[in-house]
Chain A
Amino acid sequence: SQQGEEDPQALSIQEGENATMNCSYKTSINNLQWYRQNSGRGLVHLILIRSNEREKHSGRLRVTLDTSKKSSSLLITASRAADTASYFCATADVSGGYNKLIFGAGTRLAVHP
């Protein structure tokens, strides 16, 4: 079963705008990871944030984690058409392994030129 939920389910923006996706989860976690998927095939790892971290940056990506609210957000700044993809958050809970990941249903992002 899915761990949590992403919202929105779909997001459509213009190039240059920022995109924010949110993720909620249910259990106590070891870490939370964000992935990108193009065309329903391979997953590309974007960023990992540990349960004792609150914010992390990687290039145009900014991830926040609020363990008290069991939620995370992914911000993509200055979006590009190439950012069009599905984005998933995935959690590794404290009882499972580091990469025994529980994924949400994803946010489908469309960036229009």
Chain B
Amino acid sequence: GAGVSQTPSNKVTEKGKYVELRCDPISGHTALYWYRQSLGQGPEFLIYFQGTGAADDSGLPNDRFFAVRPEGSVSTLKIQRTERGDSAVYLCASSLTEHTEAFFGQGTRLTVV
């Protein structure tokens, strides 16, 4: 596809469960970003990958959150022991390099019940 693809588009999970959110960046984009957007707020930065490595994970709220990008393309955001406060839209973006425009996916709406 031409754009950033995120799956699933919606995820409902029970409190305490583990979830994985997937992001397929635009082909050839080396930089990948995860953001989280709570209702009525702007997106908040979580983590940024350059290639396979996490260049900046300063936005991850705690150690229940982890992200990987093992082959420098697809990335997975993993949340352990989910809490109701984790409910939000999780947005992924990619850019050709870290100095060019970022393109966002449609997001995954996570609801923890």
Contact = CB atoms under 8 A, between A and B. Distances in A.
Given A88-B42, A97-B55, A104-B42, A43 B98 contact: no
A100 B45 CA distance: 7
A48 interface: yes
Interface string A14-46: 000000000000000000000100001111110
Interface residues of A, number: 23
Helix, strand, loop or mixed for chain A's interface? loop
Interface stretch (B13-21, B66-74, B104-112): B104-112
| Interface size classification for chain B | 20 to 34
A102 interface: yes
A43 B91 contact: yes
A42 B106 contact: yes
Interface of B: 31, 33, 35, 37, 39-45, 48, 55-56, 89, 91, 93, 95, 98-107, 109
Given A43-B43, A100-B48, A103-B42, 9 more contacts: A2-B44, A41-B89, A45-B102, A96-B56, A98-B95, A98-B99, A99-B95, A101-B43, A105-B41
